[in-house]
Amino acid sequence: MPDERANDELHEYLSGNSSLSRQYRRENSPLPPHALDRMILDASRAAAREPKSFFKSQALAPLAFAASVFLSLAMVLAVVLGPQARKTDDKARVVQVRMFKSEPPRAAISSPRERNPAAWLAYIDSLRQGGRANEAQLEMRRFRSAYPDYIIPVNE
Amino acid sequence: MNVQDQDTGLMLRYRDGDAAAFSALYAHYKGPLYRYLLRHARNACVAADLFQEVWSHLIATRARYEPRAKFATFLFSIAHNCAIDFFRRDLNLRRAVFAHQTDPVLTEPEVPEHLRPDRVAEYAEQESALLAAVDALPQEQREAFLLREETGLSIEDIARITDVPVETAKSRLRYAVRKLKHSLRPMQEHGPLRLRTYA
């Protein structure tokens, strides 16, 4: 079988002592020109004399790694805990709302008497004393509407 | 500590500024590396250029060196990449030269130094029958054979250098060995011959 033969040849060759390898080693062994040797060795010595750059130093690698980890962690925390991450709650909430009765519209002041609260109260009192209680009550409501903060004396 | 570990140690020492460590590495690898490049590129001028390029790259990147493989694997990986770049450039040059030659206005196109017939013939004249047979191998098979012969690296390391699966590297080496044995059989039967090529 040709494949098996080729494999056998390869195994024999890889064993290191094949006739092919022996023949190759008998060939002349050219070397690079001496001028090239000098040039490369000079370049290597010049490079070795160069001071090592601090920023290129391998010693900075752990520091760079730590900085990367720190920044990554900070970014993750910013994303997870940042204000933009707070989502609105979808659940229904019970909200207490304090309702206030709207203030009744203030009564329109139609006469000069009504511009003077004391005179208006005196008029209401006269209505009450004249037996016109309903009218007195109506006027009193209008008075309250027109002057809600007016302090009415106790005797009135 | 074996030789490979010693070489890695030398490279680490050079990385840290020890020029003598580089000299030791250079003395150990200059022959194998030069022959690999010479017989792979098949031109002395190109081999010298690539040789300088490989060592210059190693010197320039020494500060970033981390031992992740045998030093030989590391060094010949650089050499492989430089050679690949050369073959790409060379292919483009050949295409450019061919394009000029088809132009009737340009009667004498400028041929790159390494493609000059006298240079090619000069190299071919120095070859034995074995090296001529190595030359005749396809590029990938030639490289696998040269890496094995010049470095003694395993098939796994050769696969790593040439960036192919182990089975591919093994197959390339198997074909190379087969073809070389086949082409050398007449020589073994009739005694060694020197191949001469006339320009």
Q: Return the closest-CA partner of residue B136 out of B182, B67, B94.
A: B182
Interchain proximity A31–B30, CB inside 8 Å: yes
Chain A CB contacts of B63 under 8 Å are 52-53, 56, 58
A89-121 residue pLDDT tens: 666 667 666 655 555 556 666 777 777 888 888
Asked if B131 is an interface residue toward chain A (Cβ–Cβ < 8 A), one would say: yes
Q: What is the pTM of this model?
A: 0.62
Q: Do A13 and B149 touch (CB under 8 A)?
A: no
State which amino acid sits at residue A25. R
Closest-CA distance, A75 to chain B, in angstroms, reads: 30
What does the pLDDT read at residue B72? 94
Looking at CA atoms only, how far is residue B67 from chain A in angstroms?
A: 13
**Given an 8 Å threshold on Cβ–Cβ distance, is B26 in contact with A30?**
no
User: In the block, which residue shows the tokens 């690898």?
Assistant: B29
Ranges under pLDDT 70 in chain A: 1-2, 52-59, 84-93, 95-109, 154-156
CA-derived radius of gyration, chain B: 19
Nearest residue in chain B measured CA to CA from A16: B152
Interval B103-141: pLDDT, tens:
555 545 555 555 555 555 555 555 688 888 998 999 999
CB contact (8 A) between residue B48 and residue A32: yes
Q: What pLDDT score was predicted for residue B193?
A: 47
State which fold the B3-190 domain adopts.
Answer: Butyryl-CoA Dehydrogenase, subunit A; domain 3 (1.20.140)
Q: What are the CB-based long-range contacts (under 8 Å, 24+) for B10-17?
A: B10/B71, B11/B62, B11/B65, B11/B67, B11/B71, B11/B74, B12/B65, B12/B67, B14/A44, B14/A48, B14/B62, B15/B62, B15/B63, B15/B65, B17/A48, B17/A49, B17/A52
Per-residue model confidence as pLDDT tens for chain B (199 residues): 454 578 999 999 999 999 999 999 999 999 999 999 999 998 899 999 999 999 999 999 999 898 989 999 999 999 999 999 998 888 877 777 777 665 555 545 555 555 555 555 555 555 688 888 998 999 999 999 999 999 999 999 999 999 999 999 999 999 999 999 888 776 555 554 454 444 3
User: Is residue B54 less than 8 Å (CB to CB) from chain A?
Assistant: no
Chain B residue numbers touching A29 (CB-CB < 8 A): 31, 35
Residue A33 forms contact with B (CB below 8 Å): yes
The answer to whether B28 and B7 have CB atoms below 8 angstroms apart is yes
Average pLDDT of chain A to the nearest whole number: 80
Residue of A93, A139, A15 whose CA lies nearest to B148: A15
d(CA B74, CA B55): 12
Query: Helices A19-26 and B166-190, interaxial angle, to 10°?
Result: 70
Check B130 against A24: CB less than 8 A apart: yes
CA-closest candidate to residue B64, choices B74, B50, B79: B74
- On whether any CB of chain B is under 8 Å from the CB of A40, the answer is yes
Contact check, Cβ <8 Å, A44/B22:
yes
Alpha helices of chain B — where are they, by DSSP H? 3-15, 19-41, 44-60, 71-101, 117-125, 129-136, 139-151, 155-162, 166-190
Of all residues in chain A, the one with the smallest CA distance to B27 is A37
List chain A domain ranges.
113-146
Cβ separation B55–A24 shorter than 8 A:
no
User: How far away is chain B from the Cα of A62, in angstroms, using its nearest Cα?
Assistant: 15
Tell whether A49 is within 8 A of chain B (Cβ): yes
Chain B residues with CB under 8 Å of A18 CB are 177
**Sign, CA torsion B134/B138/B139/B142:** negative
Domains of chain B, residue spans: 3-190
Cα–Cα distance measured from residue A115 to residue B42, given in angstroms and rounded to the nearest whole number: 122
